[in-house]
Amino acid sequence: MISRLKGTDDILPPESARWRRLLRAFDDLAARYGYDLALMPVLESTELFARGVGAATEVVEKQMYTFIDQGGRSVTLRPEFTAGMVRAYLESGGAGFMKLSAAGPQFRYEQPQKGRRRQFYQVDLEYLGDPEARADIEIIEMSCRLLAELGVPGVTLHINSIGDAADRSVYRELLRDFLHGVAGELSLDSRRRIDDNPLRILDSKADAAVVAAAPVPLDHLGAEATAHFAAVRFGLDALGVTYEIAPRLVRGLDYYNRTVFELFSSAFAAAQSSLGGGGRYDPLGELIGSRRPIPAVGVALGCERIVAAMPETREPRLDLFVAMAGDARTAEAAAWVRRLRDAGLRVDWEGGGRSLKAQFKAADRSGARGVAIVGDEWDAGEVRVKDLATGEEAALDIEEVGEWLHR
C-alpha cells in the first residue's frame, strides 16, 4: 500500500462539499468585482521567488520545493501566487490595469500540523497597475466580504503601513540599532536576521516581549506613504469595513510597501489563526526585472483554514433522486432526468436495475431533498414523490416536480 506524502491531503466528499462552496463563492465574488480568471503554472524558475519573494525570507530560505529538471534548470513548485502573477503581467505586456483571481495549490516544506500543510490551497486576488488607495481598499474589502459571505465567525482585520523604500531604509537602521541593543535577549533565529531581514523580527512570536519597545514603521512614514495610508483608512471607514491598526504587522516577504494587512479568525489557536493576508507590493515588478515600477496590491487566503472555520450548512447536496419501479420506462425516465438537469436542478439516479429499496437507500445517502419514483403512474403523466426531510408523499404531474422542489 502506497500512502500520500506527509503534509499533503486527499480532499474528498463529504469534506470537499465545503471546498466547492468556498471556490464557488470566491469565483462569484471575483466576477462581481470585475476580476478575470488567471490559470498559472505550478512550476516556475527558482530565480523568480529568490528575487521576488526575497532570498532572506523564511519561505525562500527554508521551505521551497526546488529541484533541477532534466534540462539542468533550477525550478521550484510555487510557494505563493504573487510573484508568478506579476511575471505573467510583465510577460503579457505589463500595461494598464489588470484585475486577476486565481485558486490553486502552493507548496512549502513546513512541519505539518492542522492548518499547516506542505501542499495547501490559496484563493488569490491581484489588482495590478494601480498606485491609488482605491486598489488597496477594494482588495481588503473583498477579502472581508468573502469571509463574511462564507459565514466565517470571529474575523478581525489588522492593517498597517510599512512605508516606501526610502522610509524603510531610514527605519531599518533605527530598528537595527534597537535590535543590536537587545540582541542578547532575542531568539537565535531573530539574532541571525538583524542584519539581513530585521523587519521580520517585529512579528516574531518568540520575541514579542522584547520587540514591544522597538520603533515601529508607522512612526517613520514619509509624506506620501502617510497620505496613502490615510486614504486607505478613509476608504475602509466609508465602506463600513472595521479594522485594527497593528503597528508591528510587517508580513514575511520582501516585496511589500505601504499597506499590509492580515485577517484572523477566533475559531483557531493563535499559531494557525491567520486566514490570509496581503498588501501593496509596488517594488516586486522591479525585483523581477521590470524597468519601471508596477504598482499593485494583492491578497492570498488559505483555503484549508477557511474551510475549517466555515459553519456547516444543511443545504441538501441534490434536489432530486429519481428511483425506478422496474426497468420498463428507463429510456423515457432518462429523457426526463435530462430535462430536469436542463432546468438547472441537481438530479441523480441509477438508471434502474436495482430494487426500489436499494434505490431508496441510495437516495438517502445522496443527500437529496426528494425522491421521485417512476412507476405505473408514469403512463398518466405522473410520478410519486417523497420529501426526504419531512417524509411527506404525493402523486404529482411530472411537469410540476420542479415547482414542488422549489416550494
Site residues for ligand AMP per CB under 6 A: 80, 108, 110, 115-117, 120, 122, 274-277, 300, 302, 304-305
Min separation Cβ 205 and ligand AMP, Å: 14
Min separation Cβ 174 and ligand AMP, Å: 25
Distance (Å, rounded) from C-alpha 66 to C-alpha 227? 41
**Cβ distance to ligand AMP smaller for residue 158 or 384:** 158
- Residue in this structure with the C-alpha cell 534597537, named with its chain if needed: 178
List, as one string, the DSSP characters of 320-332: EEEEESSSTTHHH
**Cβ distance to ligand AMP smaller for residue 275 or 363:** 275
**Cβ distance to ligand AMP smaller for residue 246 or 385:** 246
Element (H, E) at 296: strand 296-302
Of 217, 337, 252, 191, nearest to 54 (Cα)?
252
**Cβ distance to ligand AMP smaller for residue 304 or 382:** 304
At residue 226's C-alpha, the angle toward residues 221 and 228, to 5°, is 130
Min separation Cβ 294 and ligand AMP, Å: 19
The closest residue (CB) to ligand AMP is 302
Residue 306 near residue 120, CB atoms below 8 Å: no
Residue 252 near residue 58, CB atoms below 8 Å: yes
Min separation Cβ 59 and ligand AMP, Å: 7
**Cβ distance to ligand AMP smaller for residue 117 or 193:** 117
**Cβ distance to ligand AMP smaller for residue 178 or 264:** 264
Min separation Cβ 72 and ligand AMP, Å: 29
CB pairs under 8 A, 24+ apart, for 9-18? 9/117, 9/119, 9/304, 15/307, 17/317, 18/307, 18/310
Min separation Cβ 279 and ligand AMP, Å: 9
For residue 45, what are the β-bridge partners?
75
